[in-house]
Chain A
Amino acid sequence: MQELAQAVVGGLASGGIYASLALAIVLIYRSTGVVNFAQGEMATFTTFVCWSLLHHDVSKWLAFGLTLAIAFAGGVALERTIVRPVEQASPAVVVILTIGLLVGLNGLTTAIWSAEVKEFPSAFPERSVEVAGVPVSWQDIGIVGVTLVAVAALAVFFRYTKLGLGLRAAAVNPEASRLVGVRVGWMLALGWGLAATLGALSGILIAPIVSLEPTMMQGVLLYALAAAVLGGLDSPVGAVVGGLALGVGINLLGTYVDAVDANLELAVALLVILAVLLVRPSGLLGRPAVSRV
């Protein structure tokens, strides 16, 4: 029983990290119909920026805050400079572009910080607390909490602010959005900025667990892609639900099925992606896509 509870809590924690990166993928997918394959590398890069800040004796929370701000600015800048010229091109072109970004950013991270594994401090205390007789680490509680706060903040932003409304409108109908005065180009940039910020958040949360190195996010990206596909690529709620479900599911498999270890967990993500795409491509909560011939 205790083992089950711990597996679930641990699963929720890793699921929270997958959820924030999945949410980043969904944000960009909704506005442009593109899966940003560079999302993981963007997160890695910003996490290294955070490491450098910490290395220069910037205090922990200030460094985290600065990193999120830098990530936002970086995301906006990437969209305005590199993605914008192909805004009118087919989404397929943009996908290839993000694959180029993936390789380029990976190289840049390695060139600047080297491939050496680095220690990254956790935002949360290393102690545990007993909740209903089950020891739960602050780390897990913190990750789940931060994810929930981020998701709630985004929900409020999208639902109740004018900018959030503009973002939603630009995503569903860019032509009509222009007519009512929404600056669609900047909305796309804003979407990239938000996605980069969410990615940075997931990077900061996971770096203490997997330790910081240039390929750190590649596995996480696969889980996030699986989570986003599971929930529905165009559904932000689906991304969160998918992330948490995947985190818990994989942790339970890892705990109770001996054959499933870290190596096979990636295969589970692969199977989830294949199964969902084949059985229900719109995911659990997404809208079925209308395909034109």
Chain B
Amino acid sequence: MRRYVFAVAWRVAALAALAIAILVLPRYVGVFRANQFALVGIFFIALLGLNIVTGHAGQISLAHGAFMAIGGYTTAILVSGGPTLGEPLNLWPNALEGGVRDLWTIPLAGLAAALAGFLFALPALRLTGLYLALATFAIAVATPAVLAKPAEITGGSRGIQLFGLPELSGKGFEQVGFLGHDVPFEDFVYYVTWLIAAALFAAAWLMLNGRIGRAFRAVRDSEVAAAASGVNPAAYKTLAFAVSAFYAGVAGSLYVILNWGAAPRSFPVLLSIQLLIGLVVAGLGSLGTLVLGALFIQFLPEAIRRSGDLGLLPDALQRWGDEPGAPNVVFGAVLVTLVLLLPTGAAGLPRRAAAALTSRRYSQS
């Protein structure tokens, strides 16, 4: 009992420390850094979602970048003044009126992505393992192109630009009022992101530690056993995909607000894969360490550049650290190394990631 109290106290303290650190951070860093830490929060939200479907419900997803895209485009279209019933299309730059204030679009973006996740899950809940990986990969590749298709709404391959719109908080460059303070746009997005992240974190914690979370894990560990104990695997898989996509949609929405716009190339296949790598690095399942995964995704590229500048890399690799592809080499190398180091180990993170992939076809007999 005492042990349990200590464990809880320790966690509460750690959370509180983290919350305070997050709260005061913008005071000590510039807008450039605030921008980066807002991105960390955005990745954190997406990882919270991915963790629900992959870490707990055991369904691999290579499509979370695509769900982010759907959320992001929802926000971009609404802010720029999307089509309303019976009216002609009302799009930037011809018309600056008729858009929705960016903050209001965030829940709508989440819902749009959740709907997409739900619709995808309807057929996909019959897929397992490798087939699910294939299907979600296909979604990750196809979604940006499909979004570019209705060019009059989504701006085609060039996307939608939001900078300077009155619906965008502070038009993207002015000070924004936030809880009685005027703060730079980047700090504003930072606070909004982390506020939402905290709320979604709490929601995820409550859900995963309750009945629904148990049902998710039952489905992950054995669908047959889950069904036998009264859990409907199809329903819970669908729920996991929808909720998880909601998180990704919110992340995508914030991503678009922060970047003043959406374009197909903002959501490449590699984004989906980076999220998966972030999840594996953070260790599937536990919520708190997902922050580490988000930090990893955001700061790995810079870390590589820096280590090149600081001469930490061998001479031959000095200049190479600046190459645009270098971070992805390391992302790939990290994943490969993790898989090779811990292929079957009891604490193996890839093993758990793999469990999400393992269909009944591969089950050990």
- Nearest CB to that of B150 among chain A residues? A263
Provide the bound-state CA to CA distance between A60 and B288, in Å. 55
Tell me if B336 and A101 are in contact (CB < 8 A): yes
Does B88 make an interface contact (CB < 8 A)? no
Q: How far is the CB of A41 from chain B (nearest CB, A)?
A: 9
How far, in angstroms, from A229 to B325 measured CA to CA in the complex? 31
Partner of A100 from B137, B332, B359 at Cβ < 8 Å? B332
| Stretch from B39-47, B139-147, B191-199 at the A interface | B139-147
Name the CB-closest residue of A to B355. Answer: A92
- Is A225's CB under 8 angstroms from B331's CB? no
Per the bound structure, the CA–CA distance linking A120 and B364 in Å amounts to 47
- Give CA–CA (A105, B268) in the complex, Å: 16
In the assembled complex, the Cα of A263 lies from the Cα of B133 at a distance in Å of: 22
* B231 adjacent to chain A (CB < 8 Å): no
Enumerate B234-284 residues with CB–CB distance to A below 8 Å.
Answer: 268-270, 273-274, 276-277, 280
In the complex, residue of chain B having the shortest beta-carbon distance to the beta carbon of A89: B343
Max chain A Cβ within 10 angstroms of own Cβ: one of B62, B350, B363: B350
Decide if B127 is an interface residue (CB 8 Å cutoff): yes
CB-defined contacts of B357 to chain A, threshold 8 Å:
92, 95-96
CB distance from A259 to the nearest CB of B (A): 8
Residues in B neighbouring A105, C-beta threshold 8 A? 332
Stretch binding the partner chain, chosen from A129-137, A199-207, A215-223, A249-257: A215-223
- Convert A88-115 into 0s and 1s, putting 1 for each residue whose CB lies closer than 8 angstroms to a CB of B: 0111110111011111111111111011
Measured CB to CB, the nearest residue on chain A to B269 is A218
Q: How long is the Cα–Cα vector from A93 to B323 in the complex, in angstroms? A: 30
Contact between chains at B130 and A100 (CB < 8 Å) = no
Residues of B contacting A106 in the complex (Cβ-Cβ under 8 angstroms): 270, 325, 328, 332
Whether B326 and A278, one on each chain, are in contact in the complex, defined by CB atoms closer than 8 angstroms, is no
Taking the closest CB of chain B, its distance from the CB of A251, in whole angstroms, is 17
| CB pair B354 A93 closer than 8 Å | yes
Contact with A86, one of B274, B339, B363 (Cβ below 8 angstroms): B339
CB pair A107–B335 under 8 Å, yes or no, is no
Residues from chain B with a CB closer than 8 A to the CB of A110 are 323-325, 328
Q: Is A156 an interface residue (CB 8 A)?
A: no
Evaluate contact between A273 and B340: CB separation under 8 angstroms. no
Return chain A residues, CB-CB under 8 Å to B364.
90
Is A179 located at the chain interface by the 8 A CB criterion?
no
- Contacting pair B324 A111 (CB below 8 A): yes
Q: Is the CB of B325 within 8 A of A86?
A: no
Are B351 and A93 interface neighbours, CB within 8 A?
yes
Residues on B with beta carbons closer than 8 Å to the beta carbon of A115: 324-325
Q: Does A63 contact B (CB under 8 A)?
A: no
* Partner pick for A95 among B130, B141, B149, CB 8 A cutoff: B130
The complex places the Cα of A278 from the Cα of B329 at a distance, in Å, of 35
Cα(A285)–Cα(B129), bound, Å: 21
- Interface centre among A82, A90, A219, A226, by most chain B C-beta atoms within 10 angstroms, is A90
Q: Please name all residues of chain A whose beta carbon is closer than 8 Å to the beta carbon of B325 when the two chains form the complex.
A: 106-112, 115, 214
- Cα distance, A283 to B324, chains bound together (Å): 39
Residue B362 is within 8 A (CB to CB) of chain A in the complex: yes
Most buried by B among A100, A114, A222, A262: A100
Nearest Cβ on chain A to B179's Cβ, whole angstroms = 40
Q: Does residue B358 face the partner (Cβ distance < 8 Å to A)? A: yes
Q: Is the CB of B146 within 8 A of A102?
A: no
Given contacts A104-B333, A108-B329, A111-B320, contact A270 B142 (CB under 8 A): yes
Whole-angstrom distance between the alpha carbons of A104 and B277 in the complex? 12
Provide the residues of chain B in CB contact with A229, threshold 8 Å.
134
Shortest distance between the CB of A212 and any CB in chain B (Å): 15
Minimum CB–CB distance for A121 against chain B, Å = 24
**Once bound together, how far apart are the Cα atoms of A225 and B136, in whole Å?**
12
- The answer to whether the Cβ of A85 comes within 8 Å of any Cβ in the partner chain is yes
Q: Does B108 contact A (CB under 8 A)?
A: no
Q: B131: CB under 8 A from chain A? A: yes
In the complex with contacts A33-B362, A281-B131, A264-B328 CB distance below 8 A: no
Residue of B at shortest CB range from A273? B138
Pair B123/A91 contact, Cβ less than 8 Å? no
A148 to chain B, nearest CB (A): 27
Docked Cα-Cα span, A225 to B267, in Å, equals 21
Contact at A266–B142, with CB atoms within 8 Å?
A: yes
Residues from chain A with a CB closer than 8 A to the CB of B273 are 99, 102-103
The answer to whether residues A86 and B340 also contact, given A35-B133, A103-B277, A114-B324 and a CB cut-off of 8 A, is yes
Q: How far is the CA of A221 from the CA of B269 in the complex (A)?
A: 12
Given that A91-B130, A100-B339 are contacting pairs, would A111 and B323 also be in contact in the complex, using a CB cutoff of 8 Å?
yes
Which A residue's beta carbon lies closest to that of B341? A85
C-alpha spacing A241/B344, complex, angstroms: 38
CA of A90 to CA of B365 in the docked complex: distance in angstroms? 12
Contact between chains at A225 and B138 (CB < 8 Å):
yes
* Cβ 8 A contact of B354, one of A92, A109, A222, A261: A92
Identify 16 new A-B residue pairs, CB closer than 8 A, beyond the known A93-B350, A97-B335, A270-B142.
Answer: A89-B343, A92-B130, A93-B343, A93-B351, A96-B339, A99-B335, A105-B332, A218-B269, A222-B142, A226-B138, A266-B145, A267-B146, A273-B134, A277-B131, A291-B359, A292-B360
Residue contacts A-B, CB under 8 angstroms, 16 given: A33-B361, A37-B137, A92-B358, A102-B273, A103-B332, A107-B327, A218-B269, A267-B145, A267-B146, A270-B139, A273-B134, A274-B138, A277-B134, A278-B123, A278-B126, A291-B360
Residues on A lying within 8 angstroms of B by beta carbon are 33-35, 37, 82, 85-86, 89-93, 95-97, 99-112, 114-115, 214-215, 218-219, 221-222, 225-226, 229, 261-264, 266-267, 269-270, 273-274, 277-278, 281, 289, 291-293
The 5 closest A-B pairs by CB, nearest first: A104-B332, A107-B328, A110-B325, A100-B335, A111-B325
